[in-house]
Structure 1
């Protein structure tokens, strides 16, 4: 196994362990919502002027699939659709009171999980953290370019 293979393996294992550790608390606290729905609410809660197209691009889904997801969340009372006065064609989404409750609860759980892990997180030097962030950003940029290439080929 190469060093880079080891890094990717470690990242997958860490992701799996975090999922296992956090799953039951998340599922209990956010009962009635799937992980995908919670992440959709999180994205809308953290961003403005979000429409189906932006959601589809962010989550790498079709607009049709995202439209289905938003309709489910509207039915659950977590999202509302709005139109701007100057653009009646485009539909934007905002959180309802219920959506904000789910968003806040999700954020609170993440803070709790971060507190649980704070000792090890505090042990990372700023230099190491900067290097890791730099690598992740470069790799993320690379993957974005590859996605764009693939999209252009499928048109």
Structure 2
């Protein structure tokens, strides 16, 4: 196995272990909510002035899937739709009080997991971080170019 294959296998293994460790606590703390619902809530809160198109791009889902998801979240009283006074055509979403509570729980869990893993990150030097971030940015840029080249769209 070459280093490229090793690296990709290790990325997958790392991701799977993070999911294995985080999933039970996430499911327990966010009972009754699907991961896609929680991620949509997170995207709405973090992005601000979020519409269907912005959510589709952010969550790598189709606009149709986002429309279904936002309707569900509205029904569960987790988000509400609104329009800006200067743009009556576009529909945006924001969190309700109940949606904000789900967001806070989710963020607290991420902080807890970050604290658990802090011991590893404390050992990483600035140069190592810079090197890893540079690699990830190059790879992300490459994948973005491939997505564009293949004409893959989110809508």
Q: Same fold (TM over 0.5)?
A: yes
Map of 2:44 onto structure 1:
44
**Secondary structure of 1:8's match?**
helix
For 1:152 and 1:125, the matched residues in 2 are separated by 37
C-alpha displacement at 1:142, in angstroms? 1.3
Residues of 2 paired with 1:79 and 1:141: CA distance? 33
Q: For residue 23 of structure 1, what is the aligned residue in structure 2?
A: 23
CA separation of 1:135 and 1:97: change in aligned 2, threshold 3 A:
same
* CA distance in structure 1 between the aligned counterparts of 2:32 and 2:152, rounded to whole angstroms: 38
Q: C-alpha deviations, 1:89-134, integer Å up to 9, x for none? A: 1000111111111111111001101111111111111110111011
| SS across alignment from 2:151 | helix
Correspondence for 2:105:
105
Q: Which runs of 5+ in 2 are unaligned?
A: none
Q: Which residue of 1 aligns with 2:60?
A: 60
Measured in 2, the distance between the counterparts of 1:91 and 1:145 equals 30
Measured after TM superposition, the shift of residue 152 of structure 1 is 6.6
Note the residue ranges of structure 1 that are not aligned, 5 or more in a row: none
Q: Is the aligned partner of 1:69 residue 2:69?
A: yes
Distance in structure 1 (CA, Å) of the matches to 2:151 and 2:48: 25
Q: CA RMSD in A?
A: 1.3
Over 4 Å off, 4+ runs: none
**Cα distance change on mapping 1:82 and 1:132 into 2, 3 Å:** same
Aligned to 2:87: 87
Partner secondary structure for residue 150 of structure 2: helix
Q: Provide the C-alpha distance between the structure 2 equivalents of 1:152 and 1:62, rounded to a whole number of angstroms.
A: 11
Partner residue of 1:134?
Answer: 134
User: What is residue 13 of structure 1 aligned with on the other side?
Assistant: 13
Report how many aligned residue pairs link the two structures: 153
Post-superposition CA distance 1:37-72 (Å, at most 9, x none): 111111111111110011112222221111001111
Distance 2:127 2:83 in 1: 46
